[in-house]
Chain A
Amino acid sequence: MATAAHAQKGLFSRPRAKTGWFSWVTTVDHKKIGIMYMFTALFFFIVGGVEALLIRAQLAQPNGQVLSADAYNQVFTMHGLTMIFLVVMPLGSALMNYFVPLMIGARDVAFPRINAFSYWVYLFGGLFLYTSFALGGAPDGGWFGYAPLSTLQTSDGMTFYALGLQILGIASLGGAINFIVTILNMRAPGMTLMRMPVFVWMTLVTSFLLLFAMPVIAVALFQLMFDRVWGANFFDATVGGDPVLWQHLFWLFGHPEVYIMILPAMGIVSDILPTFSGKPIFGYAAIVFAGIAIGFMGWGVWAHHMFSVGLGPVANSAFALSTMFIAVPTGVKIFNWLGTMWGGSIRFKTPLLFAVGFVTMFVIGGLSGVSHAIVPHDGQQTDTYYIVAHFHYVLFGGAVFGLFGGMYYWWPKMFGRHLGEGLGKVHFWLMLIGFNLAFGPMHILGLQGMPRRQDTYPDNMGWNFWNLISTVGAFLIAVSILVFFWNVVRSRTKGEEAGADPWDGRTLEWATASPPPEHNFDVIPHVTHRDDFWHTKYATDEEGEPVKVFAGGSGSDENIDQVHHTGHIHMPDPSFWPVVAAFGLPVLAFGVLYISTPTLVVGGLILLVGLFGWGLEPSAEEH
C-alpha cells in the first residue's frame, strides 16, 4: 500500500503532532485544511462585511460624511476583492476540500501537501492584500482594476492588487490541479463518473475553469505589475498601449470566475434538495451536462462586460447572442431543482431553506443578467446600481446562500454537532429579508440613473428613500450573520449531537462517522449505484416506492463482508514545508513592491528552501 514509504528520510525530522496548534500548521489532512479554509474565509467575511457596512453607512443619506472619497474608493475596492477572492472562492474550496474526497470514497486528495500549500498561499495572499491599509493605502481602482486608472494611481494600492491577486491565483491553480486529479483518479471502486454526486461534478467543472482562467489573469496582472513598477507600456495609451487589452484579459478570466463562484453553490444545492425532498435529483444527466455546458460556454461570453467600450456591432451582437444562450443550461438546472422538489416529501430544515433561497434569489439575479445581454438595454444599465443589484443577487443571493446552506448541511458531519435549527431559521429569514431590502432597491436606483462607485450623491436626485432602505437591509444582514456566529459558538457545547447520518443522507460522506476518522473510511466503499449510501438503507417495493431496510438494502452493503483490517491504513505524514514555501511568496511580493533586491533574494531563498525540503521529503515515512 505504501509505495512511497521506504528507507529514505527528509532532511529534518518530521512533525508528528496530531493535536495542538502545531498540528494545524503542519497538517496535510484534507479535512483539517477544509476547516482552516472555512474559518479563514468566515474571518474575511466579517472584514468584508464591515467594509460593506461602511459603504452603506456612507450612502444612507445624501452627502454622506462617514468616509472621505479616497477612503471610500479603498473600501469598496477591498470589499469586492475580499468577498470574491477571500470569501466566496475559499468557502467553496473549504467544502470541496472536506467533502469531495468523502463523497468519492477516497482517503485524501491526490496531493495533500500541495493542498496545504494552497491554503497557506491563500492565507498569506489575503494578509498581504490587507497590509496595504497600513502601508500607504489599499487598492482603490475597483475589483477589475481598469487601466489607465490602475496604472496612473500614485499610491501603492494597485501594486498590492496586482501582486496580491497573483499570489491568490497560485493558491487557486494548485487547488484546481489537485481536485482535477483527485476526482478523475481517486474514486472508490464502482464510483463511475456518472455516479458521482452533483457537487463533485461541479467541483470538477470549476477546477477546469480555474485551470484555464488563472493563467490569463496571471499574465494581465504581470503586465500591470511591469507597467506600475518598471514603467512598461502595456496599458499606457499615450505611447500606443491599449487599455482595452486589460479589459479583454481581465474578463477572459473574470467571466469564468463568475461561474467559478456559482457552480460550487449549484452543486451544494443539488445535493441538499434531494436529501430533504426524499427523492433522487431530477434529471441527473441533464444537470451534469448543463454544468459542463456552462463550463464551455463560459469561455464565449466575456465581452458582454465590455458592451460600452465600442467593440463594434459585430462583436456586440455575437456576445449578446452567446450570453443569451448561456441562460439555457442555467435554466435547465432551475427546472432540475424544481423537479426534484416536486412531489417530494419535503422536510423544511435550515439547509433546505437556504437551498430554496438560493434557487429563488438566483432566478431573480439570472433574469436581470439576461437583461444586460440586450446591448442597448446594457447601455442604459452600465455603471449604475442596477449592475450592483444584479451581481449581488447572483453572488450573494446565489453563491453565499448556497454556501451557507452547505455549512448548515455539513456542519454535523464536520463537527459531530448540529447548528441549532431555531437559530438557523432566524438566521435564514433575517438574511433573506435583509438581503432583499439591501439589494432589491438598487434595481430601482440603477434605473433612476444612480452611478456606482461614487462616494456620495446630492440631495435632490430622488435617491434618498431607497438608499436608506438599502442601508437598513445591509444592517439586517449583519444582524443575521451575528446570529449565525452565535449559533456556531453555541453548537460547540449545546449543539444536538449528530450521528453518522443525521439527515437521512444519500451520498457517501454520510456513511462514515461524524466527524470522520483521519483515514475517512475504515473500509473503502464499493459503489454500485448513484446515491449509493441511500441504496444501502432502502430497497424498492413493487410500486417503486422506497422501503426502509434495516439489515442492508440493495446497495453496497454486501461488500462489507470483505472487511480489510484497518491497522495498516497509511496516511501521509504532516509536513512543515508547504507553509515555509508559501511564506516565500508574500516576501517576494514585497521585494517587487519596493524594488528591493535583498527582500527578493530572501523571499526567493525561503521559497527555494521550502520547495527543496518538500521535494527531498517522502510524503510518508516508515513508522
Chain B
Amino acid sequence: MTEPVQHVEYHDHHTEHPTPRAYVWVAILLALVTAIEVAIYYFNLPDWALIAGLLIFALIKFLFVARWFMHLKFDERVFRMLFLTGIITALFVFSIVLSIFFLAGDGGPAPLVNGGG
C-alpha cells in the first residue's frame, strides 16, 4: 500500500505517534477516495465493475482509518488480532447465511417451520 509520507519513521515504538502532518495527508487521501467513489457511481459502469470498484475503495478507506487513525499499524499485534477475529468471524458466518438464502432462491415467504432444539 502506498504510504503518503515516507520520511517519517514510526516503527520503532508503539508509544510514538505519527505527526499531525501525516494525519492530514491520510485525511486528504480519504477525501480523494470518497470523491472518486461518488464519481464512479455516476459513470455508467457495468454493475460488476461498479460493485468491485466501490468495494475496493471502501476497503482502502477502511484500512487507512484503522491502520493510521486507530494506530493498528503501529500498535501491539494483540489489538489487530482481536479486531480481525471479529471481522473474519462476521464475514465467514454471514457470507454463509446470505449464500444459503440466495442459493435457495430467496425472496418468497419461508416454509412453515417447526424445528429446533
Interface residues of A (CB under 8 A from B): 142, 144, 146, 184, 208, 212, 237-238, 240, 242-245, 247-248, 252, 299-300, 302-303, 305-312, 314-315, 372, 382-383, 387, 390-391
Contact of A311 with B104 in the complex, beta carbons under 8 Å = yes
Nearest CB on B from A246, distance (A): 10
Interface residues of B in 37-89 (CB under 8 A from A): 78, 85-86, 89
Q: Is B5 an interface residue (CB 8 A)?
A: no
Closest approach, in angstroms, between the C-beta of A104 and any C-beta of chain B? 17
- Residue B100 is within 8 A (CB to CB) of chain A in the complex: yes
* Contact residue among B86, B97, B103 (Cβ-Cβ distance under 8 Å from A248): B97
Q: Is the CB of A299 within 8 A of B89?
A: yes
User: Is B113 an interface position by the 8 A CB rule?
Assistant: yes
Taking a contact as CB atoms under 8 Å apart, the answer to whether A305 and B115 are in contact is yes
What 4 new A-B contacts, CB under 8 Å, besides A237-B110, A244-B113, A247-B116?
Answer: A146-B113, A306-B113, A315-B103, A382-B114
Instruction: Check A312/B115 contact, CB under 8 A, given A212-B89, A237-B109.
Output: no
Q: Report the bound CA distance from A312 to B104 in whole Å.
A: 7
B115 near A308 (CB under 8 angstroms)?
yes
Q: Given A247-B113, A308-B113, A383-B114, are A299 and B104 neighbors across the interface (CB < 8 Å)?
A: no
Q: Say which residue of A208, A252, A302, A306 sits within 8 Å of B115 (CB atoms).
A: A306
A146 with B116: CB separation less than 8 A: yes
In whole angstroms, what is the CA distance A300 to B92 when docked? 9
Q: How many A-B residue pairs have CB under 8 A?
A: 72
* Assembly CA distance A563 to B15 (angstroms): 34
Residue of chain A at shortest CB distance from B104: A312
Determine the distance from Cα of A383 to Cα of B117 in the docked complex, in whole angstroms.
Answer: 7
A/B interface sample: 12 pairs, CB < 8 A: A144-B116, A212-B86, A238-B109, A242-B109, A243-B110, A247-B113, A248-B100, A299-B92, A299-B93, A305-B115, A308-B114, A315-B104
Q: Given contacts A299-B93, A303-B100, A315-B103, is CB(A309)–CB(B109) below 8 Å?
A: no
- Taking the nearest CB of chain A, how far is it from the CB of B8, in angstroms? 31
Nearest Cβ on chain A to B95's Cβ, whole angstroms: 12
Complex Cα spacing A333 to B114, Å: 33
Given A212-B85, A252-B93, answer yes or no on A309-B113 (Cβ-Cβ < 8 Å).
yes
Contacts of A240 in B (CB 8 A): 107, 109
**Which residues on A sit within 8 Å (CB–CB) of B103?**
312, 314-315
Q: Report the nearest A residue to B113, measured CB to CB.
A: A309
Q: How many whole Å from B47's CB to the nearest CB in chain A?
A: 23
List B contacts of A146 (CB < 8 A). 113, 116
Please report the C-alpha to C-alpha distance between residue A146 and residue B117 in the assembled complex, in whole angstroms.
11
> Which residues in B have some Cβ–Cβ distance to A below 8 Å?
78, 85-86, 89, 92-93, 97, 100-101, 103-104, 107, 109-111, 113-117
B90's nearest neighbour on chain A, judged by CB, is A212
Specify which chain A residues have a CB less than 8 angstroms from the CB of B85 in the assembled complex. 208, 212
Would you give the shortest CB distance from B51 to chain A, in whole angstroms? 23
Is there contact, CB below 8 Å, between B115 and A244?
A: no
Q: How far is the CB of B111 from chain A (nearest CB, A)?
A: 5
A369 and chain B: residue at smallest CB distance: B117
Q: How far is the CB of B92 from chain A (nearest CB, A)?
A: 7
B110 lies within 8 A of A244 (CB): yes
A372 neighbours in B (Cβ, 8 Å) = 117
Let me know if A243 and B117 touch, CB within 8 A: no
C-alpha spacing A299/B97, complex, angstroms: 12
- Are B117 and A387 within 8 A (Cβ)? yes
B102 to A: closest C-beta gap in Å: 11
Q: Is the CB of B117 within 8 A of A312?
A: no
Contacts of B97 in A (CB 8 A): 248, 252
A309 touches B78 (CB 8 A): no
Complex Cα distance, B113 from A247, in Å, reads: 10
A212 CB contacts on chain B under 8 angstroms = 85-86, 89
> In the complex, which residues of chain A have a beta carbon less than 8 angstroms from the beta carbon of B89?
212, 299
Q: Does B113 lie within 8 Å of A307, measured CB to CB?
A: no
Compute how far the CA of A146 lies from the CA of B115 in the bound complex, rounded to whole angstroms.
Answer: 9
B104 to chain A, nearest CB (A): 5
State in angstroms the CA–CA spacing of A305 and B85 once bound together.
Answer: 24
Contacts of B117 in A (CB 8 A): 305, 372, 382, 387, 390-391
Which B residues touch A243, using CB under 8 A?
110, 113
A311-B115 Cα distance, complex, nearest whole Å = 12
Is the CB–CB distance between A142 and B110 below 8 Å? no
Judge whether B110 and A242 touch: CB under 8 Å: yes
Report whether B111 and A309 are in contact in the complex, using a CB–CB cutoff of 8 Å: yes
Cα A244 to Cα B103 with chains together (Å): 14
Docked-complex contact B86 and A142, CB < 8 angstroms: no
A184-B78, A212-B86, A390-B117 known; A309 and B110 CB under 8 Å?
yes
Contact A383:B116 (CB < 8 A) given known A252-B93, A299-B92, A314-B103 = yes
Which single residue of chain B is at the shortest CB-CB distance from A306?
B115
